[in-house]
Amino acid sequence: MGVGSSRDRYDVIVVGLGGMGSAAAFHLARRGQRVLGLERFTVAHARGSSHGGSRIIRLAYFEDPAYVPLLLRAYELWRQLERDSGADLLLVTGGLLLGPPSSPTVAGARRSAAEWDLAHGVLDAADVRRRFPTLAPAADTIAFFEEAAGLVRPEATVTAHVRLATAAGAECHFEEPVVGWDASADGTTVTVRTAAGSYRADRLVICPGAYAPDLLGGMELPLKVERQVQTWFQPDGGVAPFLPDRHPVWMWEPDDDSEVAGFHGFVYGFPAIDGPDGGVKMSIVAQPDPCTPDTIDRAVGAADLDVVRAHLRRRLAAGPGRLLRADACMFENSPDNHFVVGHHPRHSQVIVAGGFSGHGFKFVPVIGEVLADLALEGKTNHPIALFDPQRLQSPAGSEDAGVD
């Protein structure tokens, strides 16, 4: 998976081989395209947003029912990717969305389930405590339960897509950062420059993650990058009650964001999937901590951990237990928290994809399919109107043809 042949002209170049970029490279190569994938770090690295061992996957999307058709296709593609790669990537455990009776999260999930006829149940606090005794909801908490929910494995997914893309003929260059690109005015070619040289192609797909400001060619999208922390704890008494056949994935919307200082969105957790000594991943989405890939503080300190522990103690029957490890990652989001997927507004041969952090990884296989459609056909049958980049464009955006 290093530098391939000496060809300098490709059908499609994919910049960024994290979750979305690796999937796009695979789908394009599988369709017979000459593909070059460029990544600034190693395969399945921990310097972006596609790491941490697990991500939640769910169908009844509280964010907007418009996501559900993409998720239905994503589930099909997850299973196909497992068959093609031989890797275990999707584990169905069931999933809970918890909150007060007025919770927009629960209400939104119920709306999506009703619109798309998705199997689900609504549990009161006593039901939750009886079925999932690891959790300790207050009496007025309710929960939306979905059997189809579970988790996917980000590093293994990226590795699988890269291996399959390479097997289908793609060249994947790692540790080769892109320093700039230019697009021809007639919409027929692009040139991508790296520290190692330059490459030409008919189409360019940019999946930059937190590196979007440096790579999106003057689009001036108001994407924000923020630091978040992931934590793993060893529960007192061991992980047995948290095993996947007993404990679901869960997301909890508190009834008061100010109940513990530093809170922003959700408390969340996973089953124990890393063996008896691997602990349980559970954490929070904290107050936004703006950063860049160069300025992020990757050290997790006591202040970070105090907020996480405070929230977990309120929601776990026995508390989180002993901290095993913690790391920092980057979220890269749009102002409305919807994805950004579509053509560059001034260069029809350039497709951009971003704004996925916090809830995007479950869509990786289907976004890869969408990006291949856009690159090859100029359109897709998947419903992506919600993700149009032009909704976020500044009317006085830069006219630069590329990025230096």
Distance CA 197, CA 183 (A): 16
Tokens 């955006």 belong to residue: 397
The mean of the pLDDT values for the chain is 92
Q: Could you say which of 309, 333, 357 is where a domain stops?
A: 333
Shared domain check, 204 and 125: no
Shared domain check, 268 and 315: yes
Shared domain check, 100 and 40: no
3 part of a folded domain: no
The residues with which 230 forms a beta bridge, in sequence order, are 327
CATH of the domain at 368: 3.50.50.60
pLDDT at 264: 59
Q: Quote the longest CA-to-CA distance of the chain.
A: 65
Given a contact cutoff of 8 angstroms between Cβ atoms, the answer to whether 205 and 13 are in contact is: yes
401 part of a folded domain: no
Shared domain check, 19 and 38: yes
Shared domain check, 201 and 127: no
Given a contact cutoff of 8 angstroms between Cβ atoms, the answer to whether 135 and 129 are in contact is: yes
Shared domain check, 136 and 159: no
Shared domain check, 356 and 274: no
Shared domain check, 367 and 240: no
Shared domain check, 214 and 110: no
Amino acid symbol at 42: T
Angle at 42 between CA 51 and CA 325, to 5 degrees: 35
Q: Give the pLDDT confidence of 54-92 residue by residue, as tens digits.
A: 999 999 999 999 999 999 999 999 999 999 999 999 999
DSSP state of 40: S
Structural domains in the chain (count): 2
Shared domain check, 356 and 249: no
pLDDT at 353: 97
Q: Could you say which of 282, 313, 333 is where a domain stops?
A: 333
Given a contact cutoff of 8 angstroms between Cβ atoms, the answer to whether 164 and 26 are in contact is: yes
Name, in order, each residue with C-beta under 8 angstroms of 174's C-beta and a sequence gap of 6 or more.
Answer: 1, 2, 17, 39, 41, 42, 43
Shared domain check, 100 and 214: no
Shared domain check, 140 and 237: yes
Domain holding 84, by residue range, is 79-152+224-333
Q: What is the mean pLDDT of each run of 10 residues along the chain (404 residues)?
A: 56 98 98 98 91 96 97 98 98 97 93 98 98 96 98 98 98 97 96 95 96 81 92 96 98 70 77 96 90 94 94 94 96 93 95 93 98 98 96 54 30
The pTM is what? Answer: 0.93
Task: State the CB neighbour count (10 A cutoff) for residue 232.
Answer: 22
CATH of the domain at 95: 3.30.9.10
Q: Structure tokens of 115?
A: 């619109």
Over pLDDT 70: what percentage of the chain? 93
